C-alpha cells in the first residue's frame, strides 16, 4: 500500500486517509507530492490519481483518489478493524458528516487554513461570513454529539477525526468555541493515529 500525500503534511484530506490506514493497522509507505512544485500535475502522477489531487492510494496496483472514497474503500476491503459504525443508518450519518465538511464551510477553510492547526500560524479575526459558518458548524456539531458522549456515534469513527479537525481550525486559532465542542476536539486530537499525523515534520515558510 502506498499513500500519496502533500509534502508538508497540511492537507486535511490526506490526514483523513492517513488516520484511516493507521487505525486499520495497514502497513503503508508514504509518498510525498510537492504541490508547490506542481508535482501533482505531472504526467507520472496523473497515472496514479485520476483527479490529480492528494491523497491517493496505490493498493497493489489499484489506484484511488479522494479521501472519502479512500476511507470507504478501506472499510470494504479491510473490514477487520472498522473505521465506520456497523449500523447502516449511523454509517450513513458518518458519511454525511464527511461529505458536509468537504463541501461546505468554505469561509472557515479559507480564513482558518491548516497552517493554523499544524504550524501555529496566527490569523486575523473571523470575518462576518466566517463567523456565520462557525455558528453553523457549532449548531450542527452540538446536534450530532450528544452531551456526555465522547464520539459522534458511540464508538470512534473516521468522521470524528474530520469533525475535530474542522473545530480545531477555530480552537487553535484562539476563536471562541463552545466549551463542550472544544473539549471534544481536544480529546479527539490526542488519539494516537491523529498524533502520528500531527507530529510529522513540516517546513512551511
Checking if the pLDDT of 39 tops 70, the result is no
The closest alpha carbon to 113, from 130, 98, 96, 137, belongs to: 130
User: Model pTM greater than 0.85?
Assistant: yes
8-34 pLDDT, tens digit per residue, is 999 999 999 999 999 999 999 999 998
Residue with cell 496523473: 46
Q: Using a CB cutoff of 8 Å and minimum separation of 24, what contacts does 75-81 make?
A: 78/24, 78/26, 80/24, 81/23, 81/24, 81/25
Cα–Cα distance, 6 to 139 (Å, whole number): 31
% residues pLDDT > 70 (the chain)? 97
Domains of the chain: 2-82 (3.40.30.10), 88-193 (1.20.1050.10)
Count of beta carbons in the 10 Å neighbourhood of residue 12: 21
99-117 pLDDT, tens digit per residue, is 999 999 999 999 999 999 9
Mean pLDDT, all residues of the chain: 94
pLDDT of 52 reads 85
For residue 184, CA distances in Å to 22, 79, 137, 154, 157 come to 21, 26, 14, 13, 14
Amino acid at each position: 500500500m502506498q499513500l500519496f500525500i502533500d509534502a508538508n503534511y497540511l492537507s486535511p484530506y490526506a490526514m483523513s486517509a492517513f488516520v484511516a490506514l493507521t487505525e486499520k493497522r495497514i502497513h503503508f509507505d508514504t509518498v510525498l507530492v510537492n504541490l508547490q512544485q506542481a508535482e501533482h500535475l505531472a504526467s507520472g502522477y496523473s497515472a496514479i490519481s485520476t483527479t490529480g489531487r492528494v491523497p491517493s492510494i496505490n493498493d497493489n496496483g489499484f489506484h484511488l483518489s479522494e479521501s472519502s472514497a479512500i476511507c470507504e474503500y478501506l472499510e470494504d476491503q479491510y473490514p477487520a478493524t472498522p473505521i465506520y459504525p456497523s449500523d447502516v443508518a449511523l454509517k450513513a450519518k458518518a458519511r454525511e458528516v464527511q461529505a458536509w465538511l468537504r463541501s461546505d464551510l468554505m469561509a472557515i477553510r479559507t480564513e482558518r487554513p491548516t497552517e493554523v492547526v499544524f504550524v501555529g500560524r496566527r490569523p486575523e479575526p473571523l470575518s462576518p461570513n466566517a463567523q456565520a459558518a462557525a455558528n453553523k458548524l457549532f449548531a450542527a456539531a452540538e446536534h450530532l454529539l450528544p452531551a456526555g458522549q465522547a464520539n459522534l456515534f458511540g464508538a470512534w469513527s473516521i468522521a470524528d477525526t474530520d469533525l475535530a479537525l474542522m473545530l480545531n481550525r477555530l480552537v487553535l486559532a484562539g476563536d471562541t468555541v463552545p466549551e463542550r465542542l472544544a473539549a471534544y476536539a481536544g480529546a479527539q486530537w490526542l488519539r494516537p493515529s491523529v498524533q502520528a499525523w500531527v507530529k510529522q515534520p513540516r517546513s512551511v515558510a
